[in-house]
């Protein structure tokens, strides 16, 4: 079992402090596939990197099999890390080494005798389905095959925990599917605990037992995948659910809005990063002689900006309404869809 208590990471640079992971407390059960979903900047990578201390925590404790990782000295930490494999979005393979040599690398570091290495590498190659590719170089492999090498290398020292940081994010849907199936396979065969980070809901839906939704360094929702996604409470969770469910309620509401807000212009604004909705709305109201009424919205604020949509009513002189829309179109990254033109 992995037990995390009050775990935080604050990055400090010259002019600012970023709380990347903010006071996380949770338990991850032995043998489960635990998903962590969140938008870019939510703190997911920092969180997993704290588990094997690739990142030093600012505070808190991480117990893996009753051992506090945060207090281990260099030598014990090195040994403890052999119990935690990790795979990455961009595979992080050594390009001058063959498949077999990449997989043998952690065994060399662990000073495993040469003949045991050879035997172990062969087992791993079979396990991940790369038989015949032993002597290939990473540059000769497809993305899916590269990730298979990554998985074999991560499993070399027989860890009990596997950390996956966006491990399928660089892969096409078919390859993603086969890598996820491989992860489920090794989870069952080896009883491995898997912590899987993603920004893709279908990855969670497909293989995770439980999920934590992260936003601004915190876990805002946690539970069984089915419970969390059938009754999402937080806006960010609803947004992730709509990745696979679609925005069903929204379409019905449009007619209602048009009927009930008869004046001015009705537009749907799509925010994809960068611009924050509040700043934009107040800027328009200050710059142009219009009123803005927010009718409906689904916005998830992330570290990297707003994500989602707002339906707004803009009222004022025709010329001013037009100038407002032109401003949004030309001066911001927000996309504008006019639902009902001014009348
Ligand atoms: N080494 C670092 N130095 C300063 N800030 C960092 C560092 N690593 C991450 N951050 C910041 O911490 C926050 C969380 O980042 P990260 O853990 O990479 O999120 P995610 O993996 O969910 O995209 C972001 O605001 C990011 O800019
Ligand atoms: Mg990340």
Task: Verify whether ligand 1 is closer than 6 Å to residue 41 (CB atom).
Answer: yes
- Give me ligand 1 centre to Cα 329, in Å: 30
Tell me the pTM: 0.74
**Residue 202 burial class via C-beta count within 10 angstroms: exposed 0-12, middle 13-18, buried 19 and up:** middle
pLDDT band with cut points at 50, 70 and 90 for residue 302 = very low
Question: 18 CB less than 6 Å from ligand 1?
Answer: yes
Please indicate whether residue 87, judged by its CB atom, sits closer than 6 Å to ligand 1.
no
Q: pLDDT band for position 26 (50/70/90)?
A: very high
Atom of ligand 1 nearest to the CA of 42: 22
Rounded to the nearest 5 degrees, what angle is found at the Cα of 73, between the Cα atoms of 68 and 77? 65
Q: Report the pLDDT value the prediction gives residue 119, as an integer from 0 to 100.
A: 97
7, 46, 195, 200: which to mutate for ligand 1, most atoms within 8 A of CB? 46
Q: Ligand 1 test: best mutation among 8, 9, 11, most atoms within 8 Å of CB?
A: 11
Identify the DSSP state of 169. Answer: T
Q: What percent of the chain has pLDDT over 90?
A: 72
Q: Which of the 8 DSSP states describes residue 95?
A: T
Contact 6, 62 (CB under 8 A): no
Residue 249 CA to ligand 2 center (angstroms) comes to: 31
pLDDT level of residue 272 (50, 70, 90 thresholds):
low
3-state helix, strand, coil in the chain (%, to 5): 40, 30, 30
- Give tens-digit pLDDT for 81-119: 999 999 999 999 999 999 999 999 999 999 999 999 999
What is the Cα 152 distance to its own chain's centre?
22
314-332 average pLDDT score: 92
pLDDT at residue 299 in the model: 67
At residue 250 the predicted structure's pLDDT band, cuts being 50, 70 and 90, is low
User: Which band of pLDDT confidence, cut at 50, 70 and 90, is reported for residue 305?
Assistant: low
198 CA to centre of ligand 2 in angstroms:
8
Burial class from Cβ neighbours inside 10 Å (0-12, 13-18, 19+) for residue 91 reads buried
Ligand positioned closest to the Cα atom of 19:
1
122-134 per-position pLDDT tens digit = 999 999 999 999 9
The answer to which of 1-10, 67-76, 160-169, 331-340 has the lowest mean pLDDT is 331-340
Residue nearest to atom 7 of ligand 1 (CA): 11
Cβ–ligand 1 contact at 36 (below 6 Å)? no
CA-to-CA distance for 3 and 134, rounded, in angstroms? 38
User: Does residue 5 carry a pLDDT above 60?
Assistant: yes
For residue 211, name the pLDDT band (cuts at 50, 70, 90): very high
What is the pLDDT of the chain when averaged over all its residues? 90
Q: Residue 163 is encoded by which pair of tokens?
A: 């950390």
Contact by Cβ (8 Å): 110, 157: yes
The finding on whether 40 has its CB within 6 A of some atom of ligand 1 is yes
């Amino acid at each position: 079992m992995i037990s995390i208590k009050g775990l935080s990471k604050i990055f400090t640079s010259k002019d600012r402090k970023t709380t990347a992971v903010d006071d996380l407390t949770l338990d991850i059960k032995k043998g489960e596939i635990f998903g962590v979903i969140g938008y870019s900047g939510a703190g997911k990578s920092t969180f997993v990197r704290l588990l094997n201390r690739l990142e030093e925590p600012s505070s808190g404790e991480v117990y893996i099999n009753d051992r506090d990782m945060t207090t281990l000295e260099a030598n014990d930490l090195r040994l403890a890390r052999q119990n935690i494999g990790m795979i990455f979005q961009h595979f992080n393979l050594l390009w001058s080494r063959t498949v077999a040599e990449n997989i043998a690398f952690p065994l060399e570091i662990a000073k495993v005798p040469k003949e045991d290495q050879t035997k172990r590498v062969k087992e791993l190659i079979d396990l991940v389905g790369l038989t015949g590719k032993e002597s290939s170089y990473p540059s000769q492999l497809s993305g899916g095959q590269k990730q298979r090498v990554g998985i074999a290398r991560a499993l070399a020292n027989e860890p009990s925990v596997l950390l996956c940081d966006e491990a399928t994010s660089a892969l096409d849907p078919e390859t993603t599917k086969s890598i996820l199936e491989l992860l489920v396979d090794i989870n069952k065969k080896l009883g491995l605990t898997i912590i899987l980070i993603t920004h893709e809901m279908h990855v969670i839906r497909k293989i995770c037992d439980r999920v934590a939704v992260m936003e601004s360094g915190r876990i805002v929702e946690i539970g069984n995948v089915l419970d969390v996604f059938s009754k999402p409470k937080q806006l960010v969770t609803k947004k992730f659910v709509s990745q696979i469910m679609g925005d069903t309620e929204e379409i019905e509401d449009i007619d209602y809005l048009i009927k009930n807000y008869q004046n001015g212009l009705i537009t749907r604004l799509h925010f994809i990063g960068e611009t924050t909705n509040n700043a934009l709305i107040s800027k328009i109201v200050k710059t142009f002689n219009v009123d803005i009424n927010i009718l409906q919205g689904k916005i998830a604020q992330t570290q990297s900006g707003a994500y989602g949509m707002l339906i707004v009513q803009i009222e004022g002189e025709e010329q001013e309404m037009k100038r407002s829309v032109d401003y949004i179109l030309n001066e911001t990254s927000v996309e504008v869809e006019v639902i009902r033109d001014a009348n």
